[in-house]
Chain A
């Protein structure tokens, strides 16, 4: 019965591939909701008219401030500006109590990686969306996904387990950095991006 042998092989291969390409990537990541919902869309809309740099700015010494602290939010949000329940919660639980929000940072790199926004944004003139995607226009914060093994954010690898047909901004792995560096003739070595 050669057919039975073939069938066993095909079923075995199929289930092994399904395990590797479907089940494992799902098991690999832990999904955590952000402590608070935030709408970039509202803030960057014409009515409010803010830009990325209003909250995520670059200091004179080249250090990037990353996510804004309460000091940036407070001037406008001592009272709720809109009608949403999340904003009310924000005002009551964070602004009134003087607490900082413990955001989960999608783009956080592993500890041994050095990255400075100054040469990329300042000198090379790369737009925020080139690496962060159309994040500035989103209405909700998507859940943060953490790799159970490495504890890195899923954004480092990118959403697709195969990394095929991914958008230019998806993925922040070493190869993503170095291929762009190579394409633009940046002279690089290990210490360019490692600390």
Chain B
């Protein structure tokens, strides 16, 4: 039998902060796609689940010079993820096929070490069993497993869509998927088309070009985590925020 070796890809996204208007459609689409339950009435900063979260930051000036910017922040899919080395359970690894950082809930023991290690606050802990309003369970996505209480979860670039795209390619006798078949829910939902998604290793892809452009940057680049989520803005003060701790900025209350 021939070897089923697949081409390596590094999926990445570039978010144009000059286009983002902070509507939160990405966060909502993400929650629906990935079976993230609606927040409990008692949910707060610590206990809510939001794989994709929109943070608001401002330039700190008084009106009329005041300007805002919105940062949609999900798992940054680091090349050197701090969450992988700390996991005592091997529940986190980097996929060599996609470059996506995984989180396997059934393997997770809930120690939350990875949450402490993640500088982007992109990991969330299930403090409770998920609960959907009556009848809403029928709208769950069968391609994404539902997590129980006591485990950590996070964005995985809508991995089930990658799996579906791979299966579709395989049915057509191909090993490599069609880029048009693999688009994460947040990218699809953005009404401003602010997010470009694709394979960073493919020099012809929009994401590879955009990530190399002059005004592209990554969050907390000084840490050397090499995220695969890029941001871009033509405004210098926005770019300077990248090395600030976004978590201490004012937050937009967008919970799934």
Contact = CB atoms under 8 A, between A and B. Distances in A.
Contacts of B163: 114, 116, 195
Given A112-B145, A195-B145, A190 B105 contact: no
Interface string A175-190: 0000001001111111
Interface in A58-84: 58-63
Interface string A110-125: 0110101011001111
Which of A181, A188, A190, A195 has most B Cβ within 10 Å? A190
Given A62-B170, A114-B163, A190-B95, A123 B4 contact: yes
Nearest to A117: B167
B234 interface: no
Contacts, number: 101
Contact of A116 (B94, B100, B166): B166
A27 interface: no
Nearest to B171: A62
A61 B167 contact: yes
A125 B1 contact: yes
B173 interface: yes
Category for how many chain B residues contact A: 35 or more
Interface in A117-164: 118-119, 122-126
A51 interface: no
Contacts of A63: 167
A192 interface: yes
B95 A122 contact: no
A61 B6 contact: no
In terms of DSSP, what is the predominant structure of the interface of chain B? loop
A187 to B, nearest CB: 5
B19 interface: no
B93 A195 contact: no
Contacts of A173: none
Contact of B102 (A118, A125, A126, A191): A191
Contacts of B93: 189-190
A124 B105 CA distance: 29
Given A124-B1, A185-B3, A190-B104, A62 B95 contact: no
A58 B168 CA distance: 10
A122 B171 contact: yes
A194 interface: yes
A189 B170 contact: no
A111 B160 CA distance: 13
A166 to B, nearest CB: 21
B156 interface: yes
A112 B160 contact: no
Nearest to B105: A112
Contacts of B159: 191, 195
A189 B5 contact: no
A191 B156 contact: yes
Contacts of B6: 186-187
A192 B159 CA distance: 9
Nearest to A186: B4
A82 B105 CA distance: 50
B169 interface: yes
A190 B87 CA distance: 14
B170 A118 contact: yes
A187 B167 contact: no
B164 A123 contact: no
8 contacts: A59-B171, A61-B164, A62-B167, A116-B166, A122-B170, A185-B3, A195-B159, A195-B160
Interface of A: 58-63, 111-112, 114, 116, 118-119, 122-126, 181, 184-192, 194-195
* 3 closest cross-chain pairs (CB), A and B: A62-B167, A118-B170, A62-B171
